[in-house]
Amino acid sequence: MSHYLAILKKEILENLRTHKVLILLLVFFIFGVMNPLTAVFTPEILKTFMPEGMSITIPDPVALDSWAQFFSNVTQLGLIIVVILFSGILGNEFSKGTLINLITKGLSRTAVILAKFSSMVLLWTVSIALCFLVTWGYTIYLFPGDTVTNLFPAVLLLWLFGVFLLALLLFTATLVKANYGCLLITGAVVVVGMLLGILPDAYKYNPMSLASRNMGLLSGETTLASLAPAIWITAGLILVWLVSSVLVFRKKEL
């Protein structure tokens, strides 16, 4: 436990020194502000660029539009930024050789993996929570009286998908030393998941559905029960990636 806490503290301080904390909090705060504002101003922007003489009815924005922006921005941009920033979670250690002396002196390799995973999940959790709270506050202010169902479950599913990506990224980092290798393998797994999502009813078992069916939950088109298999499979894969990371790293030559 002492090894785990020491490495966790090191990772948190390193995230602060390398400005990862600042970058992610700033990006997700900006997303939080932009989400409801984009929902409000999009109809006006569309009207401005409408060809002269063309008339189209654009419905007034509602709270659901704000949350649509939230899930779109966090999924399409936020998670990509998170994965890129953490792509060197082990590669930088390999290139600098910073772990060699510590491990030869008895530092637990399992503690290293668990601490690095914990630091990534912690920063991801704080980032998405900040974005959610800012979006929530502005949405309530701009769309008073509008209610959205299944909001918290939908956000938690997106959070779980982010943890899944981080566990996968950590596992790939134990396999290859180059940062771009981690990104390529992680990206390939995501692409395969997206292709499998084309199959009918595959979303029930596909981790990708946790990041693509959020609006379906909010609109009532998708039920939480229908995503239960995907939730369990995603949680199981997180455990598999994490255990595999420990096993591979224990035998890894530094």
The pLDDT tens digits for 222-242 are 888 889 999 999 999 999 999
Residue 23 is predicted with a pLDDT of 93
The pLDDT assigned to 127 comes to 96
Per residue in 25-59, pLDDT (tens digit) is 999 999 999 988 887 777 666 556 556 555 566 66
Q: What are phi and psi of 156, to 5 degrees?
A: -65, -35
Closest CA to 125 of 166, 69, 68: 166
Q: Where are the beta strands (DSSP E) in the chain?
A: none
In this predicted model, what pLDDT tens digit does every residue of 116-170 receive, in sequence order? Answer: 899 999 999 999 999 999 999 989 988 887 788 899 999 999 999 999 999 999 9
pTM above 0.85, yes or no: yes
pLDDT of residue 192: 87
Q: What is the pLDDT of residue 177?
A: 75
